[in-house]
Amino acid sequence: MTNNKSVLNWVEEMKTLVGPDKILWIDGSEAQLEALRAEACSTGEIIKLNQEKLPGCYLHRTAVNDVARVEDRTFICSRKEEDAGPTNHWKDPQEAYKMLYDIARGSYKGRTMYVIPYSMGPVGSPLAKIGVELTDSIYVVLNMAIMTRVGQKVWDTLGDSTDWVKGLHCKCDIDAEKRYICHFPEDNAIISVNSGYGGNVLLGKKCFALRIASYLGKTEGWMAEHMLILGIENPKGEIKYVAAAFPSACGKTNLAMLIPPEGYRKKGYKVWTVGDDIAWMRQGPDGRLYAINPENGFFGVAPGTNAKSNPNALASTKSGTIFTNVAQNLDDNTVWWEGLDKNPPKHAVNWKGEPWDGTTSDQKGAHPNSRFTAPAKNCPCVSPEFDKGTGVPISAIIFGGRRAQTTPLVYQSRDWNNGVFVGSIMASETTAAATGAVGVVRRDPMAMLPFCGYHMGDYFKHWIEMGKKLGDKAPKIFNVNWFRLDAEGHFIWPGFGDNLRVLEWIVNRCEGKADAVETPIGFVPKAEDINLEGLDFSIDTLKSILEIKNEQWTKEAEGIEEFYKKFGTKLPKELHDQLDTLKNNLK
Ligand code: GTP
Ligand code: SPV
Ligand code: MN
């Protein structure tokens, strides 16, 4: 355990507030976790799956009203409202603490308080940071033990330091009306009440590693981003790393683990996964930008994951995994979700816990935002750099989203500030990862709209500052769109493994080895420079998804202008200038 006074005082204070029957300090040992799994099975909180087919795997169902992040109940509680900015919900910290403590008071009665010490990033890495989460949920403990590095070594590393993030989670009654996910960036604190679902309660993830960390990054001169990190190894054995920001459920896990098309595999190309959701990036001693993945597991979208789309993700879920809100096959006590295969189980239970016949039902067996929590070490292509605390040097930053039209398959920004502009104007169709309408196009700058812990205008400014600091060592910035639709509403680009064809052009551009055409929005590849070998895809179709249509982009520029108005005087002049340049280029 720990003698850290700041920790002990806070735990004591919270204990008095929430009133647990017992306290259990999580030491990260297998024996302790196994005892917790057994206890959670005995109460029905989790279900032990077929241990021959899925060793160490469990199923959990959340409440039916609690299946995704709740953006309208997520708050940034900075002292000044202005510091939360126009894209966040804000509450006054004094009022928020009072309201939350009133909800939390006595809520652990009859329950155990679990104290989870965790490290975001390899323990002791100069890029890592420490948090402590208090929870009354064994499901949270077991997930945190997969998603982060948990246990005694975290206390040992923390020592007497006060540099750690407080996290209080109370399940309460899972009352959606009293559900709040609140962040106090100036206090390094998070309070989450009345939820038991993933991103709302695994406080190391979106709450700490993005909302709190983005604020710390601005203050301390580094970046916390909603980005996957992957390494692309060429036949000579050289590895180039890229980081990519796509909104929730827009393809980060899939890109991070992609299997190269056969032709590439034969030539010796390999892909290495460093991270699938979050990147912490800092300038290294050689002046380049280095990234670590602060997480230790994957909290991935289950539906659509299959042996063809993402075999590496599927392999990662074969042991030591917790499934949330998928269907349970009663014949062999395994799991199923839409898009796993074409054989939905007949004797099954759906994500709501109701009897379900997948062969006849017109309802979904798994929730569209059902998830797997899988240890990163299970992933067949996990990078040898994964556990190294130094991070990997980033050659390219890639933005992207779901756009049926307008945005081409890929383009490159003219320079860093133009790249910041490209990130700031990102738009994407909403997905089931958050509650609310699905399929509505919304602006989601850098895929950080729901995750930036401070004023987004200041965030853009911070990006511009980072570019100045990195100078000619800065990564090149690109934008991709795998989701262009044809007239019948089908995806035009095959996506998944074939996305490597686009990554190859990106890496070649970084090395000055590929050509491009300058357009009003930036550099677009010549169709001949995207390798279509072994793919049944015509060069004319490729040209059609590389095309920039002036009338569409003129409309886009109007939308950007409108969006930018939100930021008032906080919008950096550099981005105003970029918008003017775009408008001029389109004339
Ligand atoms: P979060 O965990 O919510 O941040 O999501 P993510 O960005 O990691 O998304 P993920 O890789 O889990 O993909 C979400 C959905 O997009 C899945 O249903 C995938 O099948 C689908 N998808 C991913 N990549 C592609 C692609 O290249 N093309 C198409 N058409 N669909 C894709
Ligand atoms: C996302 O929504 O971007 C996720 C899942 O990665 S959650 O942890 O719920 O935020
Ligand atoms: Mn995510």
Q: How far is the CA of 328 from the centre of ligand 3 (A)?
A: 25
Beta pairing, strands 348-349 & 355-356: antiparallel
**Residue to mutate (ligand 1; options 202, 254, 317, 371; most atoms within 8 A of CB):** 254
User: What local confidence, expressed as pLDDT, does residue 9 receive?
Assistant: 98
Nearest CA to ligand 1 atom 18: 304
Residue 292 forms beta bridges with which residues? 280
Residue 371 alpha carbon, nearest atom of ligand 1: 2
Specify the pLDDT at position 101: 98
Please write the tens of the pLDDT for every residue from 237-295.
999 999 999 999 999 999 999 999 999 999 999 999 999 999 999 999 999 999 999 99
CA 521 from centroid of its chain's CA atoms: 27
Write down the catalytic residue from 172, 182, 250, 381.
Answer: 250
- How many alpha carbons lie under 13 Å from residue 138 in its C-beta half-sphere? 21
387 pLDDT band, cuts 50/70/90, is very high
Pick the residue whose CA is nearest to atom 15 on ligand 1.
249
Instruction: Give the chain's mean pLDDT.
Output: 97
What's the mean pLDDT in 345-349?
98
Residue 509 binned pLDDT confidence (cut-offs 50, 70, 90): very high
Q: Which residue in 484, 479, 478 sits closest to 545, CA to CA?
A: 484
Q: Is the CB of 252 under 6 A from ligand 2?
A: no
Asked about 41 being catalytic, the answer comes back as no
Distance 227 CA to ligand 3 centre (A): 8
- The CA distance from 347 to 334, in Å, is 11
φ and ψ at residue 266, rounded to 5 degrees: -60, -35
**Contact partners, residue 119, CB within 8 Å, separation at least 6:** 128, 129, 130, 131, 148, 149, 150, 153, 154, 157
3-state helix, strand, coil in the chain (%, to 5): 35, 25, 45
**Residue of minimum CA distance from atom 4 in ligand 1:** 248
Q: Is the CB of 428 under 6 A from ligand 1?
A: no
248 lines ligand 2 (CB under 6 A): yes
At 195-229, the pLDDT tens digits run 999 999 999 999 999 999 999 999 999 999 999 99
477-497 pLDDT, tens per residue? Answer: 999 999 999 999 999 999 999
Measured CA distances, 336 to 196, 317, 425 (Å) = 22, 12, 37
pLDDT of residue 302: 98
Q: Is the CB of 74 under 6 A from ligand 2?
A: no
pLDDT value at residue 96 = 98
- 76-98 average pLDDT score: 98
Q: What is the mean pLDDT of residues 40-56?
A: 98
SS3 assignment, position 370: coil
Which atom in ligand 2 lies closest to the alpha carbon of residue 197?
9
What pLDDT was estimated at residue 555?
Answer: 95
Distance 246 CA to ligand 3 centre (A): 8
Residue 63's pLDDT band (boundaries 50, 70, 90)?
Answer: very high
Amino acid 285 reads P
From the CB of 205, is ligand 2 less than 6 Å away? Answer: yes
What atom of ligand 1 comes closest to residue 310's alpha carbon?
A: 20
Q: What is the largest CA-CA distance in the chain?
A: 69
Nearest ligand 1 atom to alpha carbon 499: 27
Model-wide pTM > 0.75: yes
Shortest-distance Cα residue to atom 9 of ligand 2: 199
Between the CA of 32 and the centroid of ligand 3 the distance, in Å, is 29
Residue 85 binned pLDDT confidence (cut-offs 50, 70, 90):
very high
Gap between the Cα atoms of 188 and 207, Å rounded: 11
Structure tokens at 217: 């990054």
Average pLDDT over residues 447-469: 98
Give the number of the ligand closest to the Cα of residue 249.
Answer: 1
User: Which residues share a beta bridge with 113?
Assistant: 23
Question: Is 315:50 a contact under the CB 8 Å cutoff?
Answer: no
Q: Of all protein residues, whose CA lies closest to atom 8 belonging to ligand 2?
A: 199
Read off the pLDDT of each residue in 395-424 and give the average, rounded to a whole number.
97
